Amino acid sequence: MATNASAQSAAISASTTGNGTCTTIPSVPSGLASPAQTTTSISLGWGNVAAGPNCTVKYRVFRGGVQQGESTTNSFTNNGLAPDTAYSFTVAAVSEAGASAQSAPITARTKQIIVGGSKNVIGYFAQWGIYGRNYRVKNIDTSNTAAKLTHINYAFGNVRNNRCQVGVTIPTNESTGEGGDAFADYTKSFQAGESVDGVGDTWDQPLRGNWNQLKKLKAKYPNLKVLISLGGWTWSRGFSSAARPENRQAFVASCIDAYIRGNLPQTDGAGGPGAAAGVFDGIDLDWEYPVACGIACGAPEDNANFTALLAEFRRQLDLVRPGLLLTIAAGAGVDKIRVTDPGTYHQYLDYINVMTYDFHGTWDPQTNHHSPLYGSPADPSTGDQRSYNTHDALQAFRTRGVPAAKLNLGIGFYGRGWTNVSSANNGLYQSGSAAPGTYEAGNEDYKVLKTKSGSHFTDATARAHWLLSGNQFWSYDDPALVFEKMQYVKNQGLGGAFFWEFSGDDAQGSMAQAIKDGLQ
């Protein structure tokens, strides 16, 4: 963000550090370069300048001679630029003693807006959404979202006792990982008015429930692919054991038998051999997280076992028929990425859904961005959390050898919120606690947040949006920011985007529309 240069100079001149006064004016920064550009931003970097005794050094960035901001590190991102436009930049170092001359200028150009191209648009459908959220497969169609999609991931299938557990209806126990809802999956009868094709289920159908509705949706949209997502936050406990050498072959076989061949346990008059054949076009693994900690903590051997598990899934899927999809959802924190080997395992995958949201939430004692596109020098986070942003997450995969086209950027159709927040800094980086939410404290759907009154803000550096509503701070993507992120997807050559999950969108499918529009 642009700053008041004269006020900064006065503040710097008046300050001292250590036990004495700074008298050393820093030298001119060298090595100014632009390592990355998007359609609307240019990232800059340069060499560090020595501070001198009792001095601290900051850097001022100028575009066309006009100061754009100040950084405490040797990098800066200038946002809000026009596409396909050249800009001239310089940088100066400043200490308490004064400012250096500006560096030699460089010219960098923002990228063109790329029109067209085939990109993934993937939506998660939550099994339990048919209850309190009253969201059915039919709503994917009536919101005009179905025509915008390439894939649907059905969440979730449980991993229990080294098998894909199918056909049970028991409450979820987060402490043990137990749980299942065969009723929602394939035994619930939907009436004609609830059905995709207007035809109600009969009592003796072997396939009813959500899965039959997905099959009907595929019939209406023949290019649409549907995958079963295994695990998720609550049901990931079983992966570590299932992936072990002595278990993985039988585990994978059980998943393929149920979800690809469609052989379902008979329950409540539904199921049987081949009952779900043709519903799923592949398998998505949402192991949260190999080696690292999710609802439970993994083990060091998860790294090798995860890669081997993906290889086994690929092998067995290919034996059934070529073209069946294998994907994963992956954590976006570098602490989750570096403990696995994406440079090796990506060869078995069609794509990786990088969960570029939930970087911050009410597990943090102060407000912060839920899903920033970039990092910000103003972010008070420390350690690995300094790189909790979309760009750094995707770069972490790319620098480890994953092709950009295999990476999908994640969008949350919900926000994270704090209450009892001060209005200082418009609520950003202020202390607070979990704000009330419809289903969960600190969490609210986009369709609800869009109706809240208050003041809206966008972090010009991080490219993140928030709402200050009274003493509540809500961080969430709105359609405008989603559109901007899709420009990033195109300019970085990514595979596409995915979102969690359908029921968070409004009845018109505004967020899904922004994804599709942005990828045109």
- Other CB atoms within 10 A of residue 340 CB: 24
DSSP 449-460: HTT--SEEEEET
Catalytic option among 70, 96, 288, 312: 288
Which DSSP string do the residues of 106-122 spell out, in sequence order?
EEEEPPPPPP----EEE
Cβ count within 10 A of residue 191: 10
Q: Among the residues of 321-377, which ranges form H helices?
A: 334-337, 342-345
Q: What is the DSSP string of 363-417?
A: TSSB---SS-SS--TT----GGGGG-SHHHHHHHHHTTT--GGGEEEEEESEEEE
Give dist(CA 66, CA 75) in Å, integer: 17
Q: To which H or E segment does residue 313 belong?
A: helix 302-320
Q: Alpha-carbon distance 154 to 441, whole Å?
A: 25
3-state class of 57 per DSSP? coil
* Contact by Cβ (8 Å): 90, 103: yes
User: Could you confirm whether 70 is annotated as catalytic?
Assistant: no
DSSP string of 143-179, one letter each residue = TT-GGG-SEEEEEEEEEETTEEE-S-EEEEETTTTEE
Active-site positions read 288
